[in-house]
């Protein structure tokens, strides 16, 4: 089976024996998933794909076996800060001297790895380049920086929000989310009218915490393990109750239904526009809403969601449009 993504195509042509290696934050690629070794990833979809093949798969919040590993490959992410975090995590969790390869696309900032490694006191050499990608090699060492230092807090909407590199809107309140909250203030007031609400794509937990503070029974899901952990920490920091789960859209909800689903859905996968998750969110929403339940979502005005909403619900409303963002609502028919 041949590699599908440019970074994996570069790795495929190496003479290195990758059996037993740890693949860190890789893309979806059948060549990797059909091979050997184990994976650590914050992407729920990647973990599920490996587990379905009976392969060892871990989130960065699991205990990852490090002793005896012949080496690791880090796929450099779009977020430079997240890439630095993964390096610190590897240095903290794998034995010093473990071989490490770092691979990434030129447009994704892989060339900056040289300065990052130098700042950490780790040597580096270039192994190969092709397909507009570069492969570097180094060895891990103790760097004396705790990866947990990457967690930060900030205040918004009277809440303490906990965030991490790679989480949507890291360190600030997204303007689209702010517009959505203005409408939810009247539509989901809570308190003596508490509802079962699903926060789809929870990010740093702003929507989940805002809703929980109003007394709603909140379930929050995200495909990104960093977002799930951030939401848990945000709820705890504000003394609020709620459930946060890793899920590829509705995959772990087992047919559960809610009186409302709220979302600021993502539409990027690294540097590419990807409507897939948002499309599934909309198409499958009626199956996860109680009769009369409503979907509330905010999105960039240019995104093609009206057709999806019309197809899934038979109708929808645009309740706010500031030319940058639109707030949509659609209601499940009562039966």
Q: Are residues 252 and 132 in the same domain?
A: no
Q: Are residues 104 and 156 in the same domain?
A: no
Instruction: Give the separation between CA 196 and CA 91, rounded to whole angstroms.
Output: 42
Query: Are β-strands 325-331 and 317-321 bridged in parallel, bridged antiparallel, or unpaired?
Result: antiparallel
For residue 305, give the H/E element and its range.
helix 305-313
Q: What angle do CA 310, 315, 317 make, to 5 degrees?
A: 110
0.75 surpassed by pTM? yes
Residue 1 in domain:
no
Q: Are 238 and 202 in contact (CB under 8 A)?
A: no
DSSP codes, 38-60: EEE-SBHHHHHHHHHTT--EE-T
Q: Are residues 60 and 182 in the same domain?
A: no
Q: Are residues 117 and 158 in the same domain?
A: no
Give, for all 335 residues of the chain, the pLDDT tens digit.
799 999 999 999 999 899 999 999 999 999 999 988 999 999 999 999 999 999 999 999 999 988 889 999 999 998 999 999 999 999 999 999 999 999 999 999 999 999 999 999 999 999 999 999 999 999 999 998 999 999 999 999 999 999 999 999 889 999 999 999 999 988 887 667 789 999 999 999 999 999 999 999 999 999 999 999 999 999 999 999 999 999 999 999 998 999 999 999 876 454 444 467 899 999 999 999 999 999 999 999 888 899 999 999 999 999 999 999 999 999 997 65
Q: Are residues 131 and 258 in the same domain?
A: no
Query: Are β-strands 243-246 and 217-222 bridged in parallel, bridged antiparallel, or unpaired?
Result: parallel
Instruction: Give the separation between CA 163 and CA 185, rounded to whole angstroms.
Output: 24
Based on the structure, what is the number of domains in the chain? 2
CB neighbours of residue 121 within 10 Å? 10
Q: Are residues 314 and 247 in the same domain?
A: yes
Q: Are residues 294 and 251 in the same domain?
A: yes
Residue 19 in domain:
yes
* Parent domain of 80: 6-147
Q: Are residues 201 and 231 in the same domain?
A: yes
Residue 243's pLDDT is what?
A: 98
At 319, which CATH number? 3.40.50.150
Q: Are residues 190 and 120 in the same domain?
A: no
Q: Are residues 157 and 126 in the same domain?
A: no
Which among 122, 147, 172 is the end of a domain? 147
Q: What is the DSSP letter of 179?
A: H
Residue 275's pLDDT is what?
A: 63
The residue whose two tokens read 């772990």 is 252
Residue 268's pLDDT is what?
A: 44
Q: Are residues 95 and 158 in the same domain?
A: no
DSSP codes, 318-333: EEEE-SSEEEEEEEPP
Q: What is the DSSP letter of 43?
A: B
Residue 99 in domain:
yes
Instruction: Give the separation between CA 53 and CA 284, rounded to whole angstroms.
Output: 26
């Amino acid at each position: 089976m041949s590699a599908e993504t440019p970074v994996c195509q570069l790795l495929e042509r190496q003479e290195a024996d990758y059996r037993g290696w740890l693949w860190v934050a890789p893309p979806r690629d059948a060549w990797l998933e059909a091979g050997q070794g184990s994976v650590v990833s914050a992407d729920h979809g990647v973990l599920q794909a490996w587990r379905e093949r009976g392969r060892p798969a871990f989130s960065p919040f699991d205990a990852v076996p490090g002793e005896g590993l012949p080496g690791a490959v880090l796929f450099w992410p779009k977020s430079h800060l997240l890439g630095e975090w993964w390096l610190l995590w590897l240095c903290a969790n794998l034995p010093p001297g473990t071989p490490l390869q770092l691979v990434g696309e030129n447009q994704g900032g892989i060339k900056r790895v040289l300065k990052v490694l130098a700042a950490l006191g780790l040597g580096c050499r270039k192994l190969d380049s092709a397909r507009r990608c570069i492969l570097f090699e180094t060895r891990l060492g103790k760097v004396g920086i705790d990866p947990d230092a990457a967690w930060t807090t900030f205040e918004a909407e009277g809440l303490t929000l906990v965030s991490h590199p790679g989480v949507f809107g890291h360190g600030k309140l997204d303007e689209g989310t702010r517009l959505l909250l203005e409408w939810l203030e009247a539509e989901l007031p809570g308190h003596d009218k508490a509802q079962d609400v699903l926060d789809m794509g929870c990010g740093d937990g702003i929507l989940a915490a805002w809703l929980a503070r109003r007394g709603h029974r909140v379930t929050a899901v995200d495909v990104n393990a960093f977002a799930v952990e951030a939401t848990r920490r945000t709820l705890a920091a504000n003394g609020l109750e709620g459930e946060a789960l890793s899920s590829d859209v509705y995959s772990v909800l087992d047919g559960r239904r809610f009186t409302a689903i709220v979302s600021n859905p993502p539409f990027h996968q690294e540097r590419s526009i990807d409507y897939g998750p948002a499309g599934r969110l909309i198409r499958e929403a009626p199956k996860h809403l109680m009769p009369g339940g409503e979907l509330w979502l905010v999105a960039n005005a240019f995104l093609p969601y009206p057709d999806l909403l019309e197809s899934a619900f038979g109708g929808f409303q645009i309740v706010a449009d500031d030319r940058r963002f639109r707030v949509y609502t659609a209601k499940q028919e009562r039966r």
